[in-house]
Amino acid sequence: MGFSCGIVGLPNVGKSTLFNALLQSAKAQSANYPFCTIEPNVGVVEVPDQRLYHIAQKERSKKITPTFIEFWDIAGLVRNASKGEGLGNQFLANIREVDAIVQVLRCFEDPDVVHVEGEVDPIRDAQIIDLELIAKDLETVERRLEKVQKMARLVDKKVKEELEHLEKIKAVLDRMEPLRRHKEELGEETIEYAKKTLFLLSIKPIMYVANVGEKDLPEGNEWSEKVKAYAEQESAPVVVMCAKLEADLIGLESQEKLELLKAYGLEEPGLNKLIREGYRLLGLITFFTAGEKETRAWTIKKGTKAPQAAGKVHSDMERGFIAAEVINYEEYKNLPSLSKAKELGLVRLEGKDYVVQDGDIMYFRFNV
């Protein structure tokens, strides 16, 4: 699995409609009443990457295997969810399971679709969700802090370090600000502690979907501009899209989809934008393995070295790693094949310290 994103938002902002569009199916129920989604719908979709198919065509591969992304359609949140209002506890527990948060913000008027807060205001909606995540994190931190303070009487280096982490985290949360906006202040070790020991919610990376009406495509509207300004505070990506239009694409043939998108001034479906921004948000890249049997895409973290990338293919490859034959897609795309690239001396031999780049086509030499 590449990574997982939880689609969150207040009730009736278009979460399930967006989820249906992403999956190109009607798997997630969508209806005009709060808490339509109770159990999270989970779907796996292919990461669209034309490079994969271009490579497979050149290498005449019998099989093509893309990489995938998992989306969770999580129940709508309301004020005081951290205190158990609505489906709050379940909502917050589900968020713990995902790598990143996709927050859908309603940026359209529709008298036929009720808004749980009474009127459209995407910034207020974003702040409600942030405050609930912060409140839950505070509860977690204070509970742990109470235990650690009791242990702090012992002369123990690990206890002292944990106490320092907790105090730094609490100082941010006490200001009612999400942890993800204060990574420099917290430092790398405290961030890792917040993520992997406490599983805090407001540390998770976030992106925003400004869900506009069809008439406001492709640029968006006044509300989506406010969302962009709000997101700039933490350099969070924003995708302006119309979930209803995306759902209307379900079942259409490729050419029909392109024509409908073009009619609204769009060049591609919203899924493609979400995937790209999701990759950027989580620092992910794609490398490829290619041959006559199979061309396959693999997702790794940016900064991954060649042996660890080999380990994604098979653990034996990492254990017995010798070297990697590498050519980047940008060098390869205008060549007839990998064989020709080798013939021209364009395929490099890289060792254990090589940092894999997005678009690398790799063959691993190993011995076990």
Q: What is the DSSP string of 90-109?
A: HHHHHHTT-SEEEEEEEE--
In this structure, whether the domain defined by 303-366 belongs to CATH 3.10.20.30 is answered with yes
Residue 14, marked binder: yes
CA distance 163 to 297: 43
Question: For the segment 316-328, what is each residue's pLDDT rounded down to a tens digit?
Answer: 999 999 999 999 9
Domain ranges of the chain: 4-281, 303-366
Q: Any residues with CB less than 8 A from the CB of 223 and at least 6 apart, and which?
A: 105, 107, 108, 120, 122, 210, 212
pTM: 0.84
CA distance 2 to 43: 13
pLDDT of 86 reads 45
Q: Which of 269, 254, 325 is nearest to 18 (CA)?
A: 269
CA distance 237 to 277: 6
Residue 75 DSSP one-character state: P
Residue 265, marked binder: no
Residue 16, marked binder: yes
Model confidence at 77, pLDDT cuts 50, 70, 90, reads low
Residue 17, marked binder: yes
Q: What is the CA radius of gyration of the chain?
A: 23
Residue type, 252: L
* CATH class of the 4-281 domain in this structure: alpha beta
Question: For the segment 185-241, what is each residue's pLDDT rounded down to a tens digit?
Answer: 999 999 999 999 999 999 999 999 999 999 999 999 999 999 999 999 899 999 999
Residue 114 DSSP one-character state: -
Residue 43, marked binder: no
* Cβ atoms 289, 243 nearer than 8 A: no
Residue 12, marked binder: yes
CA distance 324 to 306: 7
- Indicate if the pLDDT at residue 31 is higher than 80: no
- Indicate if the pLDDT at residue 81 is higher than 60: no
- Indicate if the pLDDT at residue 27 is higher than 50: no
